[in-house]
Structure 1
Amino acid sequence: MKKERIGELLRWYMREHKRGIWLVILLGAIYGSVFYLYNVPVEAVAYGTVLGVTFLLVMNVLWFWKFCRKHQKRMELLPGIEYAYRDMPEADTLAEKDYRQMVMDLGKSCYEHLMELENQEQESKEYYTIWVHQIKTPIAVMRMILQEEDTRQNRELLAELFRIEQYAEMALSYIRLESSESDFVIKEYNLDDIIRQAIRRYAPQFIRRKLHLVYESTEVKVLTDEKWLLFILEQIISNAVKYTPSGTITIRVTEDKKLSVEDTGIGIAPEDLPRIFEKGFTGYNGRNDKKATGLGLNLCRKAAEHLNIGIAVESKPGVGSCFTLDLKERQFNIE
């Protein structure tokens, strides 16, 4: 224990026992006066004083040590007090007993409320998870109906239906990322397979918006979670498609396992660039779009943190944006 900390505890100990200290001083003054008035020999007084002071010093050292131990015990319990309140040190005084009982009652009440909130949160997650899975059925049925006839109106409706499906899956991803249960399966995957899955899913959007896609197949293999890497890539491609009225989207993979998605869209304002991964932040482009949620890139960042994937962004307004995923193997941040 540091000297500064010991000094602080000593001040608190003396403050807590100041009445006893003043009582000892007062009694010493009274006995000293009586001995002086009755001409008691100095040697006898000095001998008794030395014995008394020595005894008091020894006892106070022991009491101070116990005082420090109890304080240390309380500090160890403090970080998890909502669960460890039952392990508080036993009381030595009536006041400590009263305070201990108050803390015990308060801790029990907080623990019950905490358990109730956790149960409610778990029930909400289960409800929304079931809802997202159930909503996929009518979406699939509507897609089949709209695909029966290839008209301009049906193509527009299919595009909006695709957006609904995106938002439903985004909600499910949000629930899974916020859950304490691990939803990650780490294996070695062929990166080309994952990229082609994302391209196939967004192919109708490329065609509808008449965007040119540039991609050369790769043989790079990565150690990752396929589902969540695909989710990150799809969100980045979705933004590229959304904010590229016309032009090209280029997907590249380098030998050092860096995956980039570059577009020739409207770009990101310099003042918005540092905040694009914040929850709910839509920026200037999102406010103009009126349909941005500010959740997609935030979920990308959270998933990337779990997989320890670095995300870098470069953008110039009117020129385009480039998102780069660093897929080099690192230690995963998965509980």
Structure 2
Amino acid sequence: MDKGIWCEAMSLGRYLRDRAVACVLLVICAFGVAGMFMVLGDGVQAAVLGACFVVACGAVVFAYDFARRRRFYDELVRFTDDLENAYYASSLLEEPEFLEGCLTFEALEATGKAAADDVAAHKQQAEAYRDYIELWIHEIKTPIAAAGLMAANLHGSEATKLKGELDRIEGYVEQALYYARSTSLARDFAIREVPLESVVRGAVKKHARFLIEQGTTPVIELGRDVRVFADAKWLAFIVGQLVTNAAKYGATQVRFSTRTEGEGTPAARTVLEVADDGPGIPAADVPRVFERGFTGQNGRMLGSSTGMGLYLVSELCTKMDLGVGLASEEGSGTRVLITFPHDRRRLDTTLFLSKA
């Protein structure tokens, strides 16, 4: 309920207007009592005193009723506004004593239970669907691998194209697998200290055929002693998405470099920068590049963009408590920065994102 509507609905004036008949009857009773005192010969003062007493009693009843109703509805609005899922409100509210409140409370309980049951059923369906998708992905990898082995014995330009298409199929299947995992509440990854250069080189090697086709050269300027906290497979997938994205949009070079920020402080971090010399991203599209399904101007021109690559990069970084940011200028390439906190108990990405 909107706060302005609530305040107007529960104002004293609205409350009294809603009980206009009761107010009129109270005034009639007051005049009636005053009239009886006059008829009985008790005088004007007794009549006025009797009328005032009736009005005062009525005012006390109205004030008490208004206060308890306002308290209940105030709590109801506060809980429904503050809670992410409003159907939990009935479990936090105290059952009121007045009839309308009791009926409202019972309706909230019934609605809340139905909503909770519905959410649980949908979660169960989503889990079952995700399990099926993961099983299907693992099963489909077998014929893809078999086709790859058969294609390895073929030669010529057509064979090269076939191998490239198989790589693309495998890439999309892998993307679907990580999308399914990114929507799971389970932590199906392990954060360990991994050598960053080894992970980057492995990801680049995996997509070497595509990079050669696109004429994109990777430049890896990472020290062998640089180690970060992450899940090696998830990080390799992230790097793969970034490098193939750059190649897909026409970059001739993708450069990997690192720097350390805040060294010697609790907020120390290693920043991996993936910079390409591609066409860049229009300024209007930059704030939305991590949105699911967003392809932007460049993606629409390319035609084959799914808008899932950078979305998955963002989701997996969030899952692993890594910071991610992007800076780009149209015609000047794009930089994606991933920050790895040295202390896994802290992650302050505000400074990092502001620098990006």
TM-score by length of 2: 0.77
Identity of aligned residues (%): 27
- Report the Cα offset of residue 155 of structure 1: 2.3
Q: 2:226 aligns with which of 206, 220, 224?
A: 220
Q: Which amino acid aligns with 1:131?
A: W
Q: 2:295 aligns with which of 266, 272, 282?
A: 282
Match of 2:21 in 1: 19
Match of 1:68 in 2: 70
Q: 1:192 aligns with which of 188, 197, 200?
A: 197
Instruction: Please give the alpha-carbon distance, in whole angstroms, between the structure 1 residues aligned to 2:13 and 2:322.
Output: 48
- Report the Cα offset of residue 283 of structure 1: 2.6
Q: 1:100 to 1:276 in 2, by over 3 A?
A: closer
Instruction: Please give the alpha-carbon distance, in whole angstroms, between the structure 1 residues aligned to 2:90 and 2:72.
Output: 14
Q: 1:293 aligns with which of 281, 302, 306?
A: 306
Match of 2:133 in 1: 128
Instruction: Report if aligned partners of 2:76, 2:89 keep a CA contact under 8 Å in 1.
Output: no
Q: Which amino acid aligns with 1:280?
A: G
Match of 2:327 in 1: 313
Match of 1:229 in 2: 235
Q: Which amino acid aligns with 2:42?
A: V
1:244 aligns with 2:258: no
Instruction: Report if aligned partners of 2:90, 2:105 keep a CA contact under 8 Å in 1.
Output: no
Match of 2:339 in 1: 326
Instruction: Report if aligned partners of 1:304, 1:311 keep a CA contact under 8 Å in 2.
Output: no
- Report the Cα offset of residue 62 of structure 1: 3.2
- Report the Cα offset of residue 116 of structure 1: 3.0
- After superposition, give the CA deviation of every residue in 1:86-139 in whole Å (9 maximum; x if it has no partner): 77625633x556555555555554444333333322221111111111111111
Q: 1:213 to 1:105 in 2, by over 3 A?
A: closer
Instruction: Report if aligned partners of 1:189, 1:221 keep a CA contact under 8 Å in 2.
Output: yes
Instruction: Report if aligned partners of 2:221, 2:255 keep a CA contact under 8 Å in 1.
Output: no
- Report the Cα offset of residue 238 of structure 1: 1.0
Q: Which amino acid aligns with 1:114?
A: V
- Report the Cα offset of residue 308 of structure 1: 4.0
Corresponding residue SS for 2:329: strand
How does 1:43-54 map onto structure 2 within 5 Å? 43-49=45-51, 51-54=53-56
Q: 1:220 to 1:11 in 2, by over 3 A?
A: farther
- After superposition, give the CA deviation of every residue in 1:153-185 in whole Å (9 maximum; x if it has no partner): 222222111111111111122222222333343
Corresponding residue SS for 2:127: helix
Q: Which amino acid aligns with 1:154?
A: A
Match of 2:352 in 1: none
Instruction: Please give the alpha-carbon distance, in whole angstroms, between the structure 2 residues aligned to 1:242 and 1:207.
Output: 11
Q: 1:42 to 1:108 in 2, by over 3 A?
A: same
How does 1:121-270 map onto structure 2 within 5 Å? 121-218=126-223, 219-244=225-250, 247-256=252-261, 257-270=270-283
Name the stretch that deviates more: 181-190 or 248-257.
Answer: 181-190
**Number of residues paired by the alignment?**
327
Corresponding residue SS for 2:207: helix
Q: Which amino acid aligns with 1:116?
A: A
Q: 1:96 to 1:40 in 2, by over 3 A?
A: same
Q: Which amino acid aligns with 2:238?
A: I
Q: Which amino acid aligns with 1:283?
A: G
Gaps of 5+ in 2: 1-5, 262-269, 350-356
Q: 1:324 to 1:107 in 2, by over 3 A?
A: closer
